[in-house]
Amino acid sequence: MAGADDIVRFDNVGLRYGTGTEVLGDLSFTLHAGRFYFLTGASGAGKTSLLKLLYLAQRPSRGAIRMFGTDVIMLPRERLPALRRRLGVVFQDFRLVPHLSAFDNVALPLRLSGVSEDELRQPVADMLDWVGLGARSDARPATLSGGEQQRVAIARAVIARPELLVADEPTGNVDPEMALKLLRLFESLNRLGTTVVVATHDVTLLRKVPDSLIMRLDGGRLSDPTGALRYPPRREAATVRA
């Protein structure tokens, strides 16, 4: 039975690509609104595959997924865009539009949502300032460093204040100081009500968000090394039912 604050619910979800073996199996968990989750695991554990399911780039091979109270397995594809606009995604490879400036890349989600140019100009400029790229708002991605591109990608993911933010190694290409700053940005967003899921290899990050929950993937299965997911402290809300 889904709770009122369940934002994502997986039931016995499995994923295989083509006729290969399952890369994810028997995933059953719930993400609660307004919580901060770290998704960890070794390379090849299935983190990116799980994130793809979360940002609706992939349908599972089996099981059921509900997001924002909607069954996404049965949802007609023409209704997926409206659901995607409630998400913010930071891709591991940034995926910036190459011929658009940093400003236009960050403004894209707002424009897709129908925000007028007058309304979006200031928030986009503020966001670029915040990630330290105010002076480079006209720069094309090809002229930005890897770290700068990553910051543009993060700014684009959070500019529309998504209900669920999914970030794949969002601090992988930035220095520790900027990594911490970006983490603070995610925390700020989280305090405003956004549920955050950050996939990372960097275990030092985990300690820097005190109220975060850890989801550990191992061989395509979700494990719960700290027990916090199965036996969450009162404030923690993620649960694993399998």
Partner 1 sequence: MRLPLSRDAAIGSQRTAQVLPAASLGGPMPWVIAIMVALTVLTAGGAISLANFASEARSGLEGGVTVQVVEANASAREAQARRAAEALATAPGVAKVRRVPQAEVESLVEPWLGEAANSEVVALPALIEVRLTGDADKAALSRLRGSLAKSAPSARIDAQADWLGPVFGVITALRWLALVLIGLLTLASAAAVWLAARNALDVNRATIEIVHHLGAGDAQIARLFERSVLLDAALGGAIGLLLGGGALALLGGRFAALQAGVVERGALSALDWLLVALVPVIMAGVALYTARRTVLARLGRML
Residues found near partner 1 in the complex (CB under 8 A): 55-59, 77-78, 80-82, 84-87, 89, 95-100, 104, 107-117, 119, 123, 156, 160-161
- Please identify, using beta-carbon distances, which residue of 69 and 225 lies nearer to partner 1: 69
Q: In terms of CB distance, is 42 or 57 closer to partner 1?
A: 57
CB of 13 to partner 1, least distance (A): 15
E strand intervals along the chain: 6-16, 22-32, 36-40, 62-67, 70-71, 87-90, 164-168, 195-199, 213-218, 221-223, 239-240
- For residue 159, the minimal CB distance to partner 1 (Å) is 9
Q: How far is CA 116 from CA 21, 119, 124, 128, 130, in A?
A: 47, 5, 12, 18, 22
Q: CA-to-CA distance for 81 and 70, rounded, in angstroms?
A: 13
CA separation for the pair 85, 119 (Å, rounded)? 18
For the CB of residue 235, give the shortest distance to partner 1 in the complex, in Å. 26
Q: Closest separation between CB of residue 112 and partner 1, Å? A: 5
Q: Which is nearer to partner 1, 95 or 221 (CB)?
A: 95
Provide the angle, in degrees to the nearest 10, between the axes of the packed helices 146-158 and 102-112.
Answer: 20
Please state the closest distance from residue 75 (CB atom) to partner 1, in A.
11
d(CA 18, CA 28): 22
- Cβ proximity to partner 1: between 80 and 203 the closer is 80
- Smallest distance from the beta carbon of 226 to partner 1, in angstroms? 32
Cα-Cα-Cα-Cα dihedral of 158, 164, 167, 170, to 10°? 40
Question: Smaller CB distance to partner 1: residue 95 or 208?
Answer: 95
- Would you say 25 and 33 are in contact if contact means Cβ atoms under 8 Å apart? no
Return the number of the residue (169 or 224) whose C-beta is nearest partner 1.
169
What CA–CA distance (Å, rounded) separates 221 from 45? 8
